[in-house]
A = this chain, B = another copy of it.
Amino acid sequence: MSQLVPDLTTLLAPLSDGMSLAIPPDYSGVALAATRALLKRGVRDLHLIAVPQAGLQADLLIGAGCVKLLEAAGINLGEHGLAPRFTAAMQAGELRMRDATCPAIHAGLQAAEKGIPFMPLRGILGSDLLRVRPDWRVIDNPYGENDPIVLIPAIRPDVALFHARMADREGNVWVGIRRELLLMAHAAQTTLVTVEEIYEGSLLDDPALAAGTIPALYVTRVCEVPGGMRPLGFENEPSDEAQLARYASAARSREGFNGLLREWLA
């Protein structure tokens, strides 16, 4: 079902302008090399879904004008502070935002995973999130009495894009405990993955590795891109803090952002 492809252009071909794109948080597995390839190609009008939050990747896409709608529980650069292009775009009223809370995004993806239209969720009541999210409904819990409960509609991304440790030639992808990536693959129509390395043999034949593997059934295309998350960290490899600090500082202005982007895409 899935296929190993030789380059990022082929990997990203299924992602068209206007699609919804789910991306993982910076601490998981961010396909940043693939994101640079998207920026070079000039993707447009994305509905970007952070699962459930995002950082550098989202800020790059927003800064480059690729995002028409953003759904996230939070956008920042971690220890490097605010995400400058997100902040600027919001304060300029240039970005449509669907604020969320982390478990609501997980729940929406789980609803898609289960093929159900919505998932109930506790909490949230009294938050202004309900005001800005008319798609989150409140019903009276049929199993309670006078017990309001929030419903979160299913989130079915057109594409999920992430970076992982390894894939085998069947297209199975090992993510270990990073099971939000498995959830994204289950929920999305199309799943595109960059990996550090190719595993020879089948990941599903090893009982230990199988437990952390996304079966090829859910993986559309895979591309081997060692270091494909840089300058973000991955597993035990730390982030390139100097580069991130440089970004956080430069991207405060549009000119600074454009200059750094030219450099990064060169």
Contacts and interface: CB of A to CB of B under 8 A. Distances in A.
Nearest to A107: B114
Count identical subunits in the complex: 2
A207 B120 contact: no
Given A137-B142, A139-B142, A142-B139, A211 B177 contact: yes
A210 B176 contact: yes
A42 interface: no
A144 B121 contact: no
Interface in A161-213: 175-177, 179, 207-212
A151 interface: yes
Interface residues of A, number: 32
B119 A143 contact: no
A262 interface: no
A177 B235 CA distance: 22
A115 interface: yes
A216 to B, nearest CB: 15
Contacts of A176: 207-208, 210-211
Contact of A209 (B141, B208, B235): B208
Interface of A: 107, 110, 114-122, 137, 139, 141-144, 147, 149, 151, 153, 175-177, 179, 207-212, 235
The 7 closest A-B pairs by CB, nearest first: A211-B212, A208-B208, A117-B143, A176-B211, A211-B211, A116-B120, A176-B207
